[in-house]
């Protein structure tokens, strides 16, 4: 019974953490689909979501309202980042955008440190400190919020890209910019929207995970690396791959830290990234490009 309870406890922890990684990976994939580049400022937007939520909680008594406003503010910050940093590039190749995003990440981290401080912050969960016991497994109610909000956001993104005209325009621009521009799609606008969605996803991840783990200005690099590893594992550019990769990485970390050692928790992401690059660079659900020679 104890072994079964421990397994279920680890399963719940892995799904909770994996949901956060899935949101971050989704941000990577959305930007990649529109630009072919990796946005390494994604992790900093996670930190901003958590820290701004804590700041706004001093003004608004509702945790939900504070988090919602924080997520919207970070989404606006993402739009401004694309407008002021990415769009002015004269020849925005995928490599150049990736390199510029590293600089954007460093600047964002410094901005967060100077404006929000170095002290780690936190706040109560959406259901307070309520804990739930089910089948011998005990977890905080915030875990259900994390899984539920992540699932809802991913479903919305699925319908957005599959059913809406704007989502189809983003997909068209990602598939072939020149052809999309010929039929009237404004490629610059699709890139702008992709950065806004990525910032929204990152901030949402930060806002819902901070009640369980304090947010600090220097966590962005690690969040970004975990999300990047999840995106690579699932398949870069694949939205379902973000879900699969995030959950797989979260479960690997949970079970690995328990059965091997908690000291290797962060190293698991490095190992997964190296393994997937060697064995299957396209990821679990990604498709390898076919090049005619």
84-126: per-residue pLDDT in tens? Answer: 998 888 777 888 989 999 999 999 999 999 999 889 998 888 8
Q: Rounded to an integer, what distance in angstroms lies between the CA atom of residue 272 and that of residue 234?
A: 11
**Helix or strand holding residue 256 (H, E):** helix 239-259
Confidence class of residue 47 from pLDDT cuts 50, 70 and 90?
very high
Residue 285 main-chain phi, psi, to 5 deg: -115, 5
Taking a C-beta distance cutoff of 8 angstroms, is the pair 158, 239 a contact? yes
Among residues 91, 82, 89, the alpha carbon closest in space to that of 39 is found at 82
- The pTM of the full predicted model, rounded to 2 decimals, is 0.90
Give residue 171's pLDDT.
77
Give residue 197's pLDDT.
93
The mean of the pLDDT values for the chain is 85
The CATH architecture one would assign to domain 2-279 is Orthogonal Bundle (1.10)
Give residue 2's pLDDT.
58
**Helix or strand holding residue 132 (H, E):** strand 131-134
- The helix/strand/coil state of 93 is coil
Residues in contact with 192: Cβ distance below 8 Å, sequence separation at least 6, in sequence order: 79, 82, 83, 87
Give residue 292's pLDDT.
41
Q: Where are the domains of the chain?
A: 2-279
């Amino acid at each position: 019974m104890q072994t079964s309870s421990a397994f279920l406890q680890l399963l719940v922890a892995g799904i909770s953490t994996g949901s956060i990684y899935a949101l971050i990976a989704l941000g990577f994939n959305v930007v990649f689909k529109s630009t072919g580049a990796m946005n390494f400022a994604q992790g900093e937007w996670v930190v901003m979501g958590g820290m701004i939520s804590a700041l706004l909680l001093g003004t608004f008594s509702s945790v939900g309202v504070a988090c919602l406003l924080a997520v919207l503010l970070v989404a606006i910050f993402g739009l401004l980042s694309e407008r002021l940093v990415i769009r002015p590039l004269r020849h925005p190749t995928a490599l150049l955008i990736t390199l510029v995003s590293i600089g954007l990440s460093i600047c964002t981290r410094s901005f967060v440190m100077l404006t929000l401080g170095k002290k780690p912050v936190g706040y109560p969960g959406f259901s307070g400190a309520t804990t739930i016991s089910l089948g011998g497994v005990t977890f905080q109610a915030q875990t259900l919020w994390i899984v539920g909000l992540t699932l809802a956001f991913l479903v919305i993104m699925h319908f957005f890209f599959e059913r809406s005209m704007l989502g189809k325009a983003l997909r068209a621009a990602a598939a072939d910019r020149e052809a999309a521009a010929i039929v009237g799609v404004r490629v610059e606008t699709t890139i702008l929207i992709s950065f806004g969605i990525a910032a929204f996803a990152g901030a949402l991840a930060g806002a819902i995970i901070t009640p369980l783990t304090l947010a600090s200005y220097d966590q962005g690099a690690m969040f970004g690396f975990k999300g990047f590893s999840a995106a690579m594992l699932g398949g870069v550019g694949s939205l379902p791959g973000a879900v699969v990769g995030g959950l797989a990485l979260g479960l690997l970390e949970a079970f690995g830290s328990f059965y091997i050692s908690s000291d290797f928790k962060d190293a698991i992401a490095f190992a997964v990234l190296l393994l997937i690059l060697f064995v299957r660079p396209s990821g679990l659900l990604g498709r390898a490009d076919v090049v005619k020679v």
